[in-house]
Structure 1
Amino acid sequence: MTAVRRSCHPARTRLSRLGAASVLTAAAVAVPSLLPGSVQSAEAATLAVKALNVAASKRGAPYQWGATGPYRFDCSGLTLYSFKSAGKALPRTAAAQYNSTRHVTAGSRRVGDLVFFHTGRSGASVYHVGIYAGSGRIWHAPRTGARVRLEKIWTGDVWYGRVG
């Protein structure tokens, strides 16, 4: 009768052989490949973290209007340089970068998403960009006379964009 139970319940037999931890590990590795878009999502997250790390490595670099690195940056020049170094091309200006990203809500923002500061309701009103670092902070090149730095987001009126 034991042989009948094993043949009727192959999953139970495998579970007892492999152990619960092994099955859970196998599921965690196998299941994402079955979900549409999950591989792209993981790649985008890795890209964003790489870009964030590049921006952080530029801490202290001076602001220069129109500069795209590697030693001086304006705001969109820093994001362009950071994502290019991570393997993804972005347009040159903050407004064009906003228009090229997948727009996400503040509630679904992730580390590495772009943070856009704006004066109006259209993408053309975007005037500044930084890279979200978590905990309400961004890496950015703020203005003439300042240096690349980590800073708290100073307004709630921002938009978020995910680079894909």
Structure 2
Amino acid sequence: MASHRKPRQRPFSGGPVRTAATLALAGAATATAFEGTSQADPRPTPAQVEAEVNRLYEEAEAATERYNGAKEQADEAERALTGLREETARKTDRLNTARGALGTLAAGQYRGGSLGTAVRLALSSNPQEYLAQAAFIARAGDRNAAGITAVRRGLDEVGELRTQAAGRVSDLRAKRDELAGHKAEIQAKLAAARQQLARLTAEERAAYEARTAAATAAATATPAAASAAAPAPARRAASAPTPAPADGSRAARAVAFAYGAIGKPYVWGATGPGSFDCSGLTQAAWRSAGVSLPRTTYTQINAGRRVSRDQLAPGDLVFFYSGITHVGMYIGSGQMIHAPRPGSTVRVAPLDSMPWAGASRPA
């Protein structure tokens, strides 16, 4: 007899329910996606882009100073290595001369049948063989002991120089690796700045470039014109004539060099004559006055006598930012000449344009 029982219903199961749930989840995901899109960061304003570009340029300049320091050390290591190699060559020549003289004497003794044991040791194909027998040579009392001792000393000196040179090679490789790292960092910062500028519209970019061009034009004009183009506070600070020294002093010559560099482009790592970075400009200016300054901002600040801001005199070095990553040359009336950043030129600017860090007066 057939059963007439109805099959039991299973709520929340089956194809239609599962499909509905899937569609609901997909809808929720889509809604979330749209919500996330709607909450994406808005396009930055031109002021925000410019602030970010300025920050990136500041970081690039800090990396440039690290690059300059590493390059200075790499150059020093290379000079030391060259010196060691030249000294090694000179001592090797003297050693070969001494060995040759000893060999000539030994040949004469051999022909006369009087070749001593100590001399035979000295002429061994392995120089270390007779070094191990130094005590024996001294005891033997051979009349050529002085020559043998000179050869031994020469071998020791050449060996030491070669060891030092190997250490310098290692140092140089490490410094070159460090240079490459700083160079990559600088290039990455500059590329990021260019990407930020690319986010501006054509109109915004034109306005940005117009402001930059106006600043450059003001900087390359006379100090009076540069003062007129500056903001009101800077104009008030620069209203008095700039007391640039004209007494033939070293400071006067350094300031004159800085004035002559106005308008030349900023190039990171450059020390002139056609382009400069900030510390390259101050180093070159004071070098023209016969004063040798170290290469980086954080070493230049300790290269002379520290002076307070109210004691500044033309020619003093003025430093900015907490990491002492920027330097300019004070020219009087609250103004300086400096190489600001990539894409700019050497120019006149007020001291108040950047966060003050300190000042020094080269000796």
TM-score (norm 2): 0.31
Cross-structure match for 2:259: 56
**What is the RMSD of the two structures over their aligned residues, measured on CA atoms?**
1.3
Matches within 5 A, 1:135-154: 135-153=333-351, 154=353
Asked which structure has the greater RCO (Cα within 8 Å, sep 6+), the reply is 1
CA distance in 2, matches of 1:134, 1:68: 24
CA separation of 1:64/1:155 partners in 2, compared to 1, >3 Å: closer, same or farther? closer
Within-5 A mapping of 1:8-19 = none
> Would the alpha carbon gap of residues 156 and 117 (structure 1) be closer, same or farther in structure 2, given more than 3 Å must change?
closer
1:28-67 residue pairs with structure 2 within 5 A? 46-67=249-270
The 3-state SS of whatever aligns with 2:263 is: coil
- SS of the residue corresponding to residue 270 of structure 2 reads coil
Q: Structure 2 stretches of 5 or more lacking a match?
A: 1-247
Map of 1:91 onto structure 2: 294
Distance 2:257 2:291 in 1: 13
SS in 2 for 1:126: coil
Match for 1:130 among 319, 328, 335?
328
CA displacement at 1:101 relative to structure 2: 1.8
1:113 alignment counterpart: 316
Percent identity over paired residues: 44
Q: Which residue of 1 aligns with 2:166?
A: none
The alpha carbon displacement at 1:156 in A equals 6.0
> How far apart in 2 are the matches of 1:55 and 1:140?
8
* Displacement after TM superposition at 1:158 (Å): 3.2
Structure 1 Cα separation of the partners of residues 303 and 279 of structure 2: 13
Among candidates 270, 283, 287, match of residue 80 of structure 1: 283
Cα distance in 2 between the residues matched to 1:151 and 1:107:
18
Structure 1 position 157, deviation (Å): 2.5
Aligned-pair CA distance for 1:145: 0.2
Distance in 2 separating the partners of 1:92 and 1:158:
18
Counterpart code for 2:347: R
Structure with bigger strand share is: 1
Contact preservation (8 Å) 2:338, 2:348 = yes
Give structure 1 stretches of 5+ with no counterpart.
1-44, 120-124
Q: Give runs of ≥4 in structure 1 deviating > 2 Å.
A: 155-158
Q: In the aligned structure 2, how far is the partner of 1:134 from the partner of 1:46? A: 16
Using the alignment, how far apart are the partners of 1:115 and 1:105 within structure 2? 10
C-alpha displacement of 1:59: 0.8
Residues in 2 aligned to 1:139 and 1:69: alpha-carbon distance in whole angstroms? 15
Q: What CA distance in whole angstroms lies between the structure 2 residues aligned with 1:156 and 1:107?
A: 16
- Larger-Rg structure: 2
Q: For 1:129 and 1:138, how far apart are their aligned partners in 2?
A: 10
Is the 2:321–2:355 Cα contact (8 Å) retained in structure 1? no
Who is 1:163 aligned against? 362
Q: 1:66 to 1:156 in 2, by over 3 A?
A: closer
